[in-house]
A and B are shown apart, each in its own frame.
Chain A
């Protein structure tokens, strides 16, 4: 069955550094991968969508890459800030499958 895997361990980084989160999927490639941000006690909020024919997508300090050969998407936050601390979810859109998310903590 289709699975989305994200690193379950929290990622701790220093303010100003680049955070890189990984999303791996099994079986067939999705036409779209989406990334969401979720703060404690709140619903997920959409950040970026990348299509299978796109290698990279950017939005302000955010960058997403999509490698269908590796079956992997990377999510980067450059010049990270404490306000970026949250859980980030990856979603295989065709099958409406979400990963469990990776918690990011940015320390001053």
Chain B
């Protein structure tokens, strides 16, 4: 039982490049979330999903897209990376809306 895993752990991009972050969970959770964490700031919700095939915008969705084609996977895409997207990205999942969130180990992204 791996919980929540994220791929990759680290990535360096040049401005304008694209990439996809992968989140996988093996707990059969309905809800999945993508957050970013910047120094001195709390986790900020980018997008979330309440079930397979559904996605919704969070607090800071601009510049990101997501997809939830399979229940266990939640993908976060950056179509044209910008230096402002340099951050640590965390994926989380929960069994229900007000349930405990289980977080992945994070992806540290640097955009030059």
Contact = CB atoms under 8 A, between A and B. Distances in A.
Given A42-B106, A43-B103, A43-B105, A101 B98 contact: no
Interface in B66-112: 90, 92, 98, 100-106
Interface string B49-74: 00000000011000000000000000
Interface in A11-49: 31-32, 34, 41-46, 49
A39 to B, nearest CB: 11
A45 B45 contact: no
Contacts of B90: 43-44
A43 B106 contact: yes
B58 A96 contact: yes
B105 A42 contact: yes
Interface string A1-13: 0001010100000
Interface in B19-45: 33, 35, 40-45
Interface residues of B, number: 22
Contacts of B58: 96
A87 to B, nearest CB: 10
State which size class the interface on A falls in.
Answer: 20 to 34
A89 B43 contact: yes
Contacts of A34: 100-101
B43 A98 contact: yes
A10 B26 CA distance: 35
A46 B100 contact: yes
A100 B42 contact: yes
Given A94-B98, A98-B44, 17 more contacts: A4-B42, A6-B42, A31-B98, A34-B101, A42-B105, A43-B92, A44-B43, A44-B101, A49-B100, A93-B98, A96-B33, A96-B58, A97-B42, A97-B45, A98-B42, A98-B43, A100-B41
Interface of B: 4, 33, 35, 40-45, 48, 58-59, 90, 92, 98, 100-106
